[in-house]
Amino acid sequence: MTTQTAPSASAPSTAVASTGTAVTTAAPTRSSGAVGTSHTRLEGRAKVTGAARYAGEVPFAELAYGWLVTSTVARGRIRSIDTEPVLAMPGVISVLHHENAPRLRPGVGMMGPDATLQILQDDRVPHFGWSVALVVAETPEQARAGAEALSVTYDEEPHDVVFSGDHPGLYTPDGGIRGNTDMENGDVEAELAASPVVVDQRYTTPEEYHSAMEPHAAVVRWENGRLEAIDSNQGSHAVAQDLAKLFFLDATSVRVRSEHVGGAFGSKGLMRPHLILAAMAATVLDRPVRVVLTRRQMFSLVGLRPATAQRVRLGAAPDGRLRALDHEAASFSSTVHEYTEQSGQPSRVMYAAGALRTRTRVVRLDTPTPSFMRAPGWAPGSFALESAMDELAERVGLDPIELRLRNEPGVAPASGLPFSSRNLVACFEEGARRFGWADRDPRPGSRRDGRWLVGTGVAAAAHAAGTVPSSASLTAEADGAFTVRIAAADIGTGARTALAQIAADALAVPVKTVRVKIADSDFGHAFLAGGSLGTASWAWAITEAAAALRERLTLVDHIPGEGITARADTTDLVKAMKGQERHAFGAQFAEVAVDVTSGEVRVRRMFGIFAVGRVVNPLTARSQLVGGMTMGLSMALHEEGIRDTASGGLVNADLAGYHVASNADVPVIEVDWVDDPDTYNPTGIKGLGEVGIVGTAAAIANAVRHATGVRHRDLPIRLDRVLAAGTAIENGGAAR
Ligand code: MOS
């Protein structure tokens, strides 16, 4: 996320300036001190000068251009595709469709068999915007003209794209990585029945779209018997593996590179249709082919965060201590593949409840297949849970921070495992002090500033921060430099720079002597830039390789021309890790102003303070956290994919209609972190790409409640919703 957060003219004034430089992490650095020091992005100059090439810009010789044609019905079968007139158009080389496209191996998918990858394989149309043909031409303009002229007719079938929490088709998913994680400790119903105070509320979040700046793009060619792709993705190794499987190739016959990626947020974690189509066309035509998705196509082909309908029930003693926590979450998936949004996740981690239950339901609709979007499960789940906790605080007359402190768990509530570290209390204490929480008048609707009602809100944040196997190599070059090779991805996070700092410290050399080569599947397996798993996992592999290299270097008196290389693979180390729960934590604070006449909500300031382990690069870490919070603000107030029930497509499949927070929406966001030593993974690093979005929407909704006396349980908090709900003033001071 690279959102600008400079104060803008139209944003109300902000009291807090952004620091971004405070580093209080206490974990030991290995040596030369690069880790923990701010460092600008190594590729920054290349990016701002345009020298950095993204996948859609790589100039292969003899390149042909593919333009995708997508379905205009939400369900049915393709009756006919009239290719003749299009093939006669200037420059058009080929039209690929289900009757002539190469056959793909079924059952392929990074997270289990995913039929979403089976494009141009049959005449079935499972949703509006599904891939139905690729027009290939000598220029992009000719391909586009051909695609627009292609006549496709359908036998339409009735569709259902309307999600609700009481849809009759909801069922319990039956397993798998993204499947059923239902759990119950204790007897939730009995504890709820016995609780003197019960909060029982429903919350909804809409369809949300990743909206990365760089569209999905790939250039593919056959080169010396290998299928070679430059693709915009989050994990070149995993994508190469899937591409090989899909095309019945050896893993060694496929190479995927993704040197620069302009944002992803989860949408580039899996292989996407543009790459499959480019590989199909390159194979059929024996010629390099480029496919770039349009913004509109990104709204139907690269995943989305599904809408959720959640019910949270909290049973508490009068002192606020939880006796029961029940979190039910429903979401939708496509008819093609089961993806489940795990919104119960925060409830399994956050609070000590006597009895705890999380349940997940999913319904299959005639929509695109959803997928991971920044903090999947955690982001929508935290909106429901952290709103409900705010409601409980009011019910028992406790400060919302005090309520959370009273319910701090000793061990992870669902699993019973110890936390590797948990410094959430420190986040709240330091955050309250820095934000000025003590000065807050808890009465809703009590603060007015002209036509604005002003309020503040708080919420907790957490995100899993695990470690997964990766491999890396390190070469001592004859010229005195060192080269890291790892199939990591830098999707705009600063990962490349962080890894250079890690390697520099592990080798006890200056950062400028380290070159980092990333995002090439030939470098061996490494986990994708996702799940807040990347940096911690990659850094471990690099430090292991560095240790091995340093040992080798003690045995030689000179470095040969080809250098000396050491490799490391952390697979066995990761397997041997002890059973602990590991999470990044945080406290989110927001101040909002609500215009009582227009219903407009402005966020005036936000402060997020996090426990994220050892911070490698304060500059880019801060950017990740600010970006996450910005995306959370956007989720709270703006983002909403609106499905047209008639066509089954999105009404607002562009960045004019799908509003992502822009500069004028975003005040100065202050971010800091507390000491969070953590030795679970020897690098001490916790991922922080996702925790920033968690809890932000709840903090804002809680602030809107404090400002207006009205609780908003449906996101986004649009002005029409604010107007319709009224305010405490219009409602005679009565809080609802
Ligand atoms: Mo992500 S949603 O961490 O790919």
Q: Quick one: pLDDT band at residue 9, thresholds 50, 70, 90?
A: very low
pTM (2 d.p.): 0.94
Atom of ligand 1 nearest to the CA of 533: 3
Pairing status of strand 514-518 against strand 124-125? unpaired
- Predicted confidence (pLDDT) at residue 733 exceeds the cutoff of 80: no
Q: For residues 2-12, give the mean pLDDT.
A: 33
> Looking at residue 112, what is its pLDDT?
87
> Looking at residue 734, what is its pLDDT?
46
Q: For residues 244-266, give the mean pLDDT.
A: 98
Pocket lining for ligand 1, CB < 6 angstroms: 234, 266, 269, 372-374, 376, 530-531, 690
CATH of region 176-207+305-465+580-725, choose from 3.30.479.30, 3.30.365.10, 3.20.20.70, 1.10.800.10: 3.30.365.10
Catalytic (active site) residue 690: yes
> Looking at residue 2, what is its pLDDT?
32
Architecture, CATH, for domain 13-30+469-572: 2-Layer Sandwich (3.30)
Q: Which of 84, 402, 690, 730 is catalytic?
A: 690
> Looking at residue 176, what is its pLDDT?
52
Q: For residues 307-334, give the mean pLDDT.
A: 98
Which stretch of 278-282, 443-447, 509-513 has the lowest confidence by average pLDDT? 443-447
Q: Which of 372, 378, 493, 691 to mutate to test the pocket of ligand 1 (most atoms within 8 A of CB)?
A: 372
Asked if residues 307 and 715 have their Cβ atoms less than 8 Å apart, the reply is no
What percentage of the chain reaches a pLDDT higher than 70? 94
Residues 344 and 170: their CA atoms lie apart, in Å, by 16
Q: For residues 205-209, give the mean pLDDT.
A: 98
Q: 176-207+305-465+580-725: same fold as 64-158+213-263+268-301? A: no
- Predicted confidence (pLDDT) at residue 81 exceeds the cutoff of 90: yes
User: Minimal CA–CA distance to 73: which of 121, 122, 129, 120?
Assistant: 129
Tell me how far the alpha carbon of residue 264 lies from the centroid of ligand 1, in angstroms: 8
> Looking at residue 363, what is its pLDDT?
98
Q: For residues 193-207, give the mean pLDDT.
A: 98
The pair of three-digit structure tokens given for residue 295, joined into one six-digit string? 């913004």
- Predicted confidence (pLDDT) at residue 728 exceeds the cutoff of 90: no
Q: For residues 573-602, give the mean pLDDT.
A: 95
Question: What digits encode the pLDDT tens for the residues 32-73?
Answer: 689 999 999 999 999 999 999 999 999 889 999 999 999 999
- Predicted confidence (pLDDT) at residue 15 exceeds the cutoff of 70: no
Question: What digits encode the pLDDT tens for the residues 629-651?
Answer: 999 999 999 999 999 999 999 99
Q: Which of 374, 533, 694 to mutate to test the pocket of ligand 1 (most atoms within 8 A of CB)?
A: 374
Q: Quick one: pLDDT band at residue 28, thresholds 50, 70, 90?
A: very low
Number of Cβ atoms within 10 Å of the Cβ of 158: 8
Percent helix, strand, coil in the chain, to 5, is: 25, 25, 50
Q: For residues 167-186, give the mean pLDDT.
A: 82
Residues 390 and 458: their CA atoms lie apart, in Å, by 8
Domain segments of the chain: what residues? Answer: 13-30+469-572, 64-158+213-263+268-301, 176-207+305-465+580-725
> Looking at residue 7, what is its pLDDT?
32
> Looking at residue 178, what is its pLDDT?
54
Q: For residues 123-142, give the mean pLDDT.
A: 98
Q: For residues 660-676, give the mean pLDDT.
A: 96
Tell me how far the alpha carbon of residue 62 lies from the centroid of ligand 1, in angstroms: 35
> Looking at residue 121, what is its pLDDT?
98
Tell me how far the alpha carbon of residue 64 lies from the centroid of ligand 1, in angstroms: 32
> Looking at residue 13, what is its pLDDT?
31
Mean pLDDT of the chain: 93
403: alpha, beta or left? (left if phi > 0; alpha if psi -120 to 50)? alpha
Asked if residues 642 and 706 have their Cβ atoms less than 8 Å apart, the reply is no
Q: Looking at domain 64-158+213-263+268-301, what is its CATH homologous superfamily?
A: Aldehyde oxidase/xanthine dehydrogenase, a/b hammerhead (3.90.1170.50)
- Predicted confidence (pLDDT) at residue 399 exceeds the cutoff of 50: yes
User: Minimal CA–CA distance to 185: which of 418, 345, 415?
Assistant: 415
